[in-house]
């Protein structure tokens, strides 16, 4: 049985990891545990509970910066920002329903997984808002990188390295992030009745327009019917959506222009206020694919020209999905099988320019057998191994969480 250790501060984390390294004891790093279902299952000697490393130590709304313990609940931070009409612009998704947990994710967990929502087309990923980090490496050594502003970075940018490392390089103890003003108005334009190829064309045209789009999505008819937004579920057709944000006059003008452009393609509708917010929350949180809790969920980032073909192959295999098209994302839900759809997904992404895929939800036995993350090239594997050795030479931190070798 894995023993639980709960350090109370960064110094205790350093001491425990120094001891674990000397004794060659493996350690699972846990903030809240909300993403335990993401990545390969791991078995370790100890579970390092970092939940005591929480609390906001610096928040300067005028400077658009916030610093907090890595285990600070994300909900606490978002509530604090909302009081100042500010936000984490990368729009971190909430995968509580995906993983069937009510645990509140932590800011450190969000950054370690580099999670971002549909606004990534405009605001970028979580790593693009990650200004500073303090942590303890697998050697038990404390380190600090970055600062309170984007330009205050000298040497290696370790924030970018920690983002997406899933706790395999270091235990984060404190993080600094950029915050931004929340938009005054949020509008969503809906275009109904488009097939996948036509929807991709319409979204590409919108993304290339001067309307400053902040999110794009396409829900095929069966998926749209499950939306909690009546305008979407009650349309009886596929729904293609584009979000526009900003000051009220600007948002109104750009929305009207896009409605006129899309009106030439089919029936259009417009969402305001809570309906617009609710739709994009569904898209970010994979809500349209969650009624069946036994399905295998994949997230693919693909070359736009491949999107419709991959979706057609998934439908032919009895699956379904939708397009979160900021970053060319496809979300696929596939029926349980021996390989969990691996042959279909990996087969569709052959070649370095095709894209990459991550198994976001699947049973433990499946996640043990297959590559959860995109298989690396030999050169990238060698580089990752060298980085792992530099931070965690004894491979004690979350061993095997991302790949079998590290």
C-alpha angle 206/208/212, rounded to 5°?
70
Provide the pLDDT for residue 351.
Answer: 75
- Average pLDDT of the chain to the nearest whole number: 94
Cβ contact 145:156 at 8 Å? yes
Phi-psi region of 226 (alpha: psi -120 to 50; beta: other; left: phi over 0): alpha
Cβ contact 165:391 at 8 Å? no
- Cα 371 to its chain centre, rounded Å, is 18
Strands 27-30 and 46-49: parallel
**134-158 average pLDDT score:** 83
pLDDT per residue over 298-307, tens digit each? 999 998 888 9
pLDDT per residue over 342-375, tens digit each? 999 999 888 777 899 999 999 999 999 999 999 9
**306-326 average pLDDT score:** 93
Q: Is the dihedral of CA 90, 95, 97, 103 positive or negative?
A: negative
pLDDT over 90 (residue 230)? yes
For residue 87, what is the enclosing H or E element?
A: strand 86-87
Provide the pLDDT for residue 151.
Answer: 56
**Is residue 146 very low, low, confident or very high in pLDDT (cuts 50, 70, 90)?**
confident
> Exposed, middle or buried: residue 243 (CB in 10 Å: 0-12, 13-18, 19+)?
buried
> Exposed, middle or buried: residue 217 (CB in 10 Å: 0-12, 13-18, 19+)?
buried
pLDDT per residue over 170-219, tens digit each? 999 999 999 999 999 999 999 999 999 999 999 999 999 999 999 999 99
- Cα 11 to its chain centre, rounded Å, is 30
Cβ contact 307:357 at 8 Å? no
CA–CA separation, 66 and 76 (whole Å): 12
CA–CA separation, 206 and 211 (whole Å): 7
pLDDT per residue over 79-112, tens digit each? 999 999 999 999 999 999 999 999 999 999 999 9
What share of the chain in percent tops pLDDT 70?
Answer: 98
- Backbone torsions φ then ψ of 240, nearest 5 degrees: -105, 130
Torsion of CA 17, 21, 23, 26, to 10 degrees: 80
Structure tokens at 252: 């109104």
pLDDT over 80 (residue 66)? yes
Provide the pLDDT for residue 150.
Answer: 58
Which has more confidence, 254 or 293?
Answer: 254
3-class SS of residue 38: coil
**267-290 average pLDDT score:** 95
Q: Is the dihedral of CA 208, 209, 212, 213 positive or negative?
A: negative
| Of 320, 315, 365, 314, nearest in space to 343 by CA | 314
Provide the pLDDT for residue 69.
Answer: 98
CA–CA separation, 277 and 364 (whole Å): 33
pTM score of the predicted model: 0.94
HSE-CB at 358 with a 13 A cutoff on CA atoms is: 16
Provide the pLDDT for residue 189.
Answer: 98
CA–CA separation, 235 and 221 (whole Å): 9
Residue for token digits 């009081």? Answer: 83
- Backbone torsions φ then ψ of 38, nearest 5 degrees: -105, 125
pLDDT over 60 (residue 324)? yes
Which domains are present in the chain? Answer: 1-182+376-406 (3.30.465.10), 185-285 (3.30.70.2190), 288-369 (3.30.70)
Q: Is the dihedral of CA 140, 144, 145, 149 positive or negative?
A: positive
Provide the pLDDT for residue 298.
Answer: 97
């Amino acid at each position: 049985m894995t023993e639980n250790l709960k350090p109370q501060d960064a110094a205790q984390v350093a001491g425990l990891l120094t001891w674990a390294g000397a004794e060659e004891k493996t350690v699972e790093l846990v903030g809240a545990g909300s993403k335990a279902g993401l990545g390969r299952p791991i078995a370790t000697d100890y579970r390092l509970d970092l939940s005591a490393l929480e609390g906001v130590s610096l928040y300067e709304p005028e400077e658009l910066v916030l610093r907090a313990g890595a285990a600070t609940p994300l909900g606490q931070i978002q509530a604090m920002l909302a009081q100042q009409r500010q936000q984490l612009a990368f729009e971190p998704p909430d995968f509580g329903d995906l993983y069937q947990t009510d645990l509140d994710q932590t800011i450190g967990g969000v950054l370690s997984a580099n999670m971002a929502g549909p606004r990534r087309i405009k605001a970028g990923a979580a790593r693009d808002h990650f200004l500073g980090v303090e942590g303890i490496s697998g050697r038990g050594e404390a380190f600090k990188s970055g600062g309170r502003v984007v330009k205050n970075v000298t040497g290696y940018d370790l924030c970018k390295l920690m983002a997406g490392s899933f706790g395999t390089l270091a235990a984060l103890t404190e993080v600094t992030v950029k915050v931004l003003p929340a938009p005054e108005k949020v509008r969503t334009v809906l275009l109904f009745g488009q097939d996948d190829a036509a929807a991709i064309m319409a979204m590409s045209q919108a993304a290339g327009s001067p309307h400053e789009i902040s999110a794009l999505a396409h829900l095929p008819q069966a998926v749209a019917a499950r939306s909690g937004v009546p305008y979407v579920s009650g349309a009886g057709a596929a729904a293609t959506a584009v979000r526009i944000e900003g000051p009220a006059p600007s948002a109104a003008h750009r929305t009207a222009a896009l409605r006129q452009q899309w009106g030439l393609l089919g029936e259009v509708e417009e969402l305001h206020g809570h309906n617009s917010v609710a739709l994009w929350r569904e898209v970010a949180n994979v809500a349209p694919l969650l009624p069946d809790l036994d399905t295998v969920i994949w997230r693919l980032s693909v070359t736009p020209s491949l999107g419709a073909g991959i979706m057609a192959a998934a439908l032919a295999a009895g699956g379904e999905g939708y397009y979160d098209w900021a970053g060319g994302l496809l979300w696929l839900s596939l029926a349980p099988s021996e390989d969990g759809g691996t042959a279909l997904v990996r087969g569709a992404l052959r070649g370095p320019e095709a894209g990459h895929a991550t198994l976001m939800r699947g049973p433990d036995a499946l996640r043990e057998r297959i590559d959860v993350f995109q298989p690396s090239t030999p050169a990238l594997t060698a580089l990752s191994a060298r980085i792992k050795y530099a931070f965690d030479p004894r491979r004690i931190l979350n061993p095997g969480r991302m790949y079998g070798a590290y």
